[in-house]
Amino acid sequence: MDIPKNGYEQAAISLAPIKTDMTLDEFCQSDLEGYEYVKGELVPMAPPTMEHGDISMSLSLLLGVYIRENELGRLYPADTDFKLGDRLVKPDIAFVSTARLPENRRQASPVAPDLAVEVVSPTDIQYRVVEKAFAYLNAGTRLVWI
């Protein structure tokens, strides 16, 4: 039996996707926390580290000031849901321009963000990060920062 060499390897194992019979709409209406929904699977999200939070906050502060001063749209934090086809994702930071803001903002956004920022964690798997970046772009996101 192989024993993981460090905590990051163990965390990656525990973050494996879980097959579900739940539809995207059912997931959106559920109260499940800590998951993204990808093509019929629940993908656990790793708890953010202090380093992750520091990077996210630093970018949010800089982007937020610029966006507000120039009245460009709205900036959203990591707990905001965005529907991308058969996915429901929570980018670490998301920007939606004023022209594309949906009328009803009391639900998951039906439009992809104009900018999606994903702060990579040690437990992230490269192909999933790349796949997610392409999912954003295919859904209409104009720029993805990883």
Q: What is the pLDDT of residues 11-52, one digit of tens each?
A: 444 678 889 888 888 888 888 888 889 888 898 888 888 999
For residue 132, the domain's CATH number is: 3.90.1570.10
32 belongs to a structural domain: no
Could you give the CA distance from residue 97 to residue 115 in angstroms, rounded to a whole number?
9
Rounded to an integer, what is the distance from CA 23 to the centroid of its chain? 18
The pairing of strands 82-84 and 41-44 is: unpaired
In Å, how far are 28, 29, 31, 73 from 58, measured between CA atoms? 29, 32, 29, 19
Alpha-carbon span 7 to 122, nearest angstrom: 10
Say what the pLDDT of residue 14 is: 64
Please provide the average confidence, as pLDDT, over all residues in the chain.
87
In this structure, is residue 19 part of a structural domain?
Answer: no
| Residue 143 predicted with pLDDT over 70 | yes
109: in domain? yes
12 inside domain: no
Which residue in the block uniquely carries the two structure tokens 């973050």?
15
The verdict on residue 11 lying in a domain is: no
Residues 110, 88 contacting (CB under 8 angstroms): no
Question: Is pLDDT at 118 greater than 50 in this prediction?
Answer: yes
- The answer to whether residue 30 sits within a structural domain is no
Structural domain of 105? 46-145
C-alpha dihedral sign at 118, 120, 121, 123: positive
Say whether pLDDT at 1 is over 70. no
Total domains present in the chain: 1
Per the DSSP assignment, residues forming a β-bridge with 36 are: 43
Question: Is 99 within the bounds of a domain?
Answer: yes
The pair of structure tokens assigned to 146 is 């990883």
